[in-house]
Amino acid sequence: MNVQHILVAADESEAGRQAVRSAIDLARRADARVTVVRAVPVMAMAVAATTTGGYDFAGAEIESPAIEDLRQWIGSDLRAQSEPPPVELAIVSGIPGMEIRRLAEQREADLVVLGRKRRSQLARLILGDTAGLVARHSRIPCLLVPADSGPLQRMLVAVDGSDHGMLVLAKAASFAQAIGITTLRVLTVEPGPADQPPAGKSARIGSLDRQARDILNHQGVETVGPSVEVRRGAVIPQILAAVTASGTDLLAIGYHRGGLPGVIEAGSIGRHLAHTAPCAVLTIPL
């Protein structure tokens, strides 16, 4: 997974601002460029302004006070960096979740960063959920960042041992290598009572362990502990427990595209985790 161009969606919420900070930090670590996009509910052509000198937005034909505020606080975050990445400011109009995804594909972004606001299912149904909409339709990996997120340094990858799971691990390990994470945890959950440890290494776990070791060695990434940590019980609670126990600040998961908006209880495991994990979540489309 190359990380050369990061597109981040910004608004005035703390989650939106943290998404921009995270994107700038990741771009600095990966030597990438950043496009900061603001979605506005007006019928207008998209306009963009390329920065000069890292944080000078001169030349933008944008008069909106909200956009001026956006430009100023992005500039403040960039000035805090010793070597700020190149940043472009873009504006799109329409349904935010659809237009952000469309722009990311048009600009050939490698990663989409979005602020994750904590909302109830009812609030998502009534107000909508831009981050969820982008992730559900995006062919590009998405990073969902909560407002209280800090630097991403401890990564946990949840896999199921399928070919899709190995694809998730390979892309997550490549992402870790690109942003300078050198160690991570790999987790799988076996069915059975949570308080009953596996009697021995099953054929599935043995195969998964070998494949994981090969993928991580190829990417130059090391695991913390065994190649694959095995837990037993219900998948979602066990993954969330592992996140909490390990102090993980970035969870990587496979993410099925499509599905009904707002309703996570009828959706995939990935959708549950993306909305409930207490850390940033990297969704890798399946």
Query: How far apart are alpha carbons 161 and 164 in whole angstroms?
Result: 8
The predicted structure's pLDDT at residue 117: 72
Name 126's Cβ contacts closer than 8 Å, sequence gap at least 6: none
- Token pair of 258, please? 């499509």
Instruction: Tell how far CA 164 is from the center of its chain.
Output: 18
Determine the Cα–Cα distance for residues 269 and 187; give it in Å rounded to an integer: 14
Eight-class DSSP state of 5: E
Which positions ≥6 away from 219 have C-beta within 8 Å?
170, 173, 174, 176, 177
Residue 207, pLDDT score:
84
Looking at residue 272, its pLDDT comes to: 86
DSSP state of 100: H
What CATH superfamily classification does 155-248 receive? Answer: HUPs (3.40.50.620)
Strand partners, 185: 156
Report residue 113 as tokens: 């960063």
Q: Show the low-confidence residues of the chain (pLDDT under 50).
A: 43-63, 120, 122-128, 263-266
Q: 164 is written with which tokens?
A: 């899709």
CA distance 8 to 109: 10
Query: Taking Cα atoms as reference points, which of 112, 119, 118 lies closest to residue 134?
Result: 112
Distance CA 215, CA 244 (A): 25
Asked if 175 and 140 count as a contact pair (C-beta separation under 8 A), the reply is no
The reported pTM is 0.85
CA distances from 183 to 10, 166, 194, 282 (A): 30, 17, 26, 16
Residue extent(s) of CATH 3.40.50.620 domains in the chain: 5-146, 155-248
Q: What's the pLDDT score for residue 31?
A: 95
Give the helix/strand (H/E) hosting 218.
helix 203-219
Select 5-146's CATH number: 3.30.930.10, 3.40.50.300, 3.30.390.10, 3.40.50.620.
Answer: 3.40.50.620
